Amino acid sequence: MPVNEQRTQSGGAGAPARQCNIAFIGSECYPFVKTGGLGDVMYALPRALIRQGCGVRVIIPLYNCIPQKFKDQMTYRGSFMMDLCQDGRAFYVGIMELVMDGVIYDFIDNREFFDWGNPYTGLWEDIPKYCYFSKASLAVLNYLEWIPDVIHCHDWQAGLVPVYLRARFDGTPVGSARSILTIHNLRFQGICGIQHLKYWTGLPDYLFDYPVFKQSEDEANMFKGGLAYADRVTTVSATYAEEIQTTFYGEGLNGHLWYHRAKLLGIVNGIDVELWNSATDKLLPAPYDAGNVLELKKQNKLALQDKLGLEQDAGKFVIGLVSRLTDQKGLDLVNAVFPELVDENTQVVILGTGDPRYEDAFRFYERENKGSVCAYIQYNEALAHQIYAGADALLVPSLFEPCGLTQLIAMRYGTVPIVRETGGLKDTVQPYNEVNGEGNGFTFDRYEADLLLDAVNRGKAVYLENRGRWDEMVLRDMAKDVSWENSAAQYIDLYRELMDA
């Protein structure tokens, strides 16, 4: 159904509430381009919003790495030249469009910026790229004459959108929109020399004199500027919203966020429960639902063991880890206790890419534990599905975790999460209570390797010695609501609050 014909379902008695039109602006979106959870959210949240009556347009770059099959489905919507830099240098902006399940995707085409990377390259190139992208996204909305009520921007790559909106687009049609900036990960901020950012943004000097952008005497911070200028700031769990106001989690912006705390809100992520559905998942050897999980999960486990060269034994406790291999994910803890994780009853499967330090360590452990450990150093969507289905437990011991989606996917697939109590992990995994058997998974609090090992061992003990309790947890996890419906409704409340303000 075309966006503008949709009817809103919200609004009480009397005239139906006006439809919210929302523009999503971000640097990645599944299935076109995804490096992590941001891509999942840019896919799933717009679909949930559409189901609840909103109109949504998603704007992302037309990266060269987007598969050709999607490029072939796009249609050309127009182009124009846009001035960008301090010296007035102008750039081509092309618009390619694709409509999928009611969501309109507009891809910004510029070969000079988007021909390299997967999709990121490095800050030196990424900063100009996303200055251009942020400004072009607003210019595209004016060009298409589609003026959203709210512009919902994501992470530092779209951080300049709220700044451009006020500093350059006031008085133009899109200037009537309000803005929300969502923090998916505060670690990445887009920091560079003030002169570099001044040049590429073409923004007025006075903005760089105030604390808005200033990181230090000679450095500017794109995310910081966006957080100051956005009408509202959200992040992806209530706990992370609190954590980022502290020194430990604040990545140097805790003071800035504390200052802006009145406009800061945590709304927990969900997952797309159609995409992540073990009953219909075509990537699984043996799709299953809550009625047959206890039987069919074993078949998925055996198939996984076979595929990865592990000893085939449905009785082994299989721990999965699906993750970017970076410091954020708590992998130094895993490394520290790896030899103690594996025993005659336990296998470990790792899927991820990232820091060579971790890639090499996990390859080493695979060599040392042939048949019990598999380190699959790749980005592989199909294998990720098969691990969520075939493993018994999923390990997410993060140092910090704004929300985390892998523990949600795991629960939906009846795989018990073992997590550190931080950010969204704390908000979504209720610790197992051995007195009454309640809970969704195993947790530990302080960032210590022994505590991680203890949580794994507690899980393993229930699996091996108290299977009835374990199986109840599997079923409870599968029944848990991890969909977007609730959180999408919270975003709609926020959009309406801004529209009415």
Residues forming contacts to ligand ADP in the complex (CB under 6 A) are 36-38, 40, 322-324, 351-353, 379-381, 384, 403-406
Query: Is 494 in contact with 232 (CB distance < 8 Å)?
Result: yes
Enter the tokens of residue 282. 């075509």
The item of ligand ADP, ligand GLC, none sharing an interface with residue 392, based on CB under 5 to 8 Å by kind, is: none
Interatomic CA distance for residues 131 and 200, integer angstroms: 7
203 part of the interface to ligand GLC, by CB under 6 A = no
101 C-beta neighbours (distance < 10 Å), count: 10
Which of 6, 20, 37, 476 is the binder for ligand GLC (CB under 6 A)?
Answer: 37
305/326 with CB nearer ligand GLC: 326
Specify the residue for token string 């999965």: 320
201/398 with CB nearer ligand ADP: 398
Cross-strand pairs, 317: 346
269 part of the interface to ligand GLC, by CB under 6 A = yes
The item of ligand GLC, ligand ADP, none sharing an interface with residue 236, based on CB under 5 to 8 Å by kind, is: ligand GLC
Contacts of 391 (CB under 8 A, 6+ apart): 301, 304, 318, 319, 320, 349, 410, 415
33 part of the interface to ligand GLC, by CB under 6 A = no
- Please provide residue 178's backbone torsions phi and psi, each rounded to the nearest 5 degrees: -100, 165
Least spacing, CB of residue 188 vs ligand ADP, in Å: 10
Find how far residue 105's CA is from the centre of its chain. Answer: 18
Least spacing, CB of residue 184 vs ligand ADP, in Å: 7
Interatomic CA distance for residues 462 and 471, integer angstroms: 10
Residue 119, preceding peptide bond in cis (omega within 30° of 0): yes
Candidates 36-44, 109-117, 295-303, 453-461; binding stretch for ligand GLC (CB under 6 A): 36-44
Enter the tokens of residue 452. 């991680």
Least spacing, CB of residue 28 vs ligand ADP, in Å: 10
38/194 with CB nearer ligand ADP: 38
Enter the tokens of residue 388. 């969520």
Strand intervals (E) in 245-360: 264-266, 317-322, 346-351
41 part of the interface to ligand GLC, by CB under 6 A = yes
Least spacing, CB of residue 325 vs ligand ADP, in Å: 8
Interatomic CA distance for residues 382 and 404, integer angstroms: 19
Least spacing, CB of residue 184 vs ligand GLC, in Å: 3
Least spacing, CB of residue 66 vs ligand GLC, in Å: 20
Least spacing, CB of residue 290 vs ligand GLC, in Å: 25
Interatomic CA distance for residues 235 and 231, integer angstroms: 14
Is residue 103 within a helix (H) or strand (E), and if so which, with residue range? Answer: strand 103-109
Is residue 340 within a helix (H) or strand (E), and if so which, with residue range? Answer: helix 331-341
Enter the tokens of residue 442. 């195993």
Interatomic CA distance for residues 78 and 236, integer angstroms: 34
The item of ligand ADP, ligand GLC, none sharing an interface with residue 61, based on CB under 5 to 8 Å by kind, is: none
487 part of the interface to ligand GLC, by CB under 6 A = no
Candidates 32-40, 95-103, 303-311, 450-458; binding stretch for ligand GLC (CB under 6 A): 32-40
Question: What strands lie across the sheet with 317-322, from one edge to the other?
Answer: 373-376, 346-351, 317-322, 393-396, 416-420, 442-444
Least spacing, CB of residue 374 vs ligand ADP, in Å: 13
Specify the residue for token string 């347009």: 57
Least spacing, CB of residue 394 vs ligand GLC, in Å: 14
38 part of the interface to ligand GLC, by CB under 6 A = yes
Specify the 3-state DSSP secondary structure of 211.
Answer: coil
Using CB under 6 A as the binding rule, the residues of this chain from 377 to 416 that contact ligand GLC are 401-405
Which of 152, 184, 426, 476 is the binder for ligand GLC (CB under 6 A)?
Answer: 184
Least spacing, CB of residue 153 vs ligand ADP, in Å: 17
365/484 with CB nearer ligand GLC: 484
Contacts of 303 (CB under 8 A, 6+ apart): 285, 286, 386, 390
Candidates 34-42, 242-250, 254-262, 365-373; binding stretch for ligand GLC (CB under 6 A): 34-42
How many chain residues bind ligand GLC (CB under 6 A)?
A: 14
Least spacing, CB of residue 489 vs ligand GLC, in Å: 18
The item of ligand ADP, ligand GLC, none sharing an interface with residue 451, based on CB under 5 to 8 Å by kind, is: none
236 part of the interface to ligand GLC, by CB under 6 A = yes
> What track of x and - describes contact with ligand GLC for positions 410 through 449 (by CB under 6 A)?
--------------x-------------------------
200/249 with CB nearer ligand GLC: 249
Radius of gyration of the chain (CA): 23
Interatomic CA distance for residues 478 and 234, integer angstroms: 28
Residues that bind ligand GLC (CB under 6 A): 36-38, 41, 184-185, 236, 269, 401-405, 424
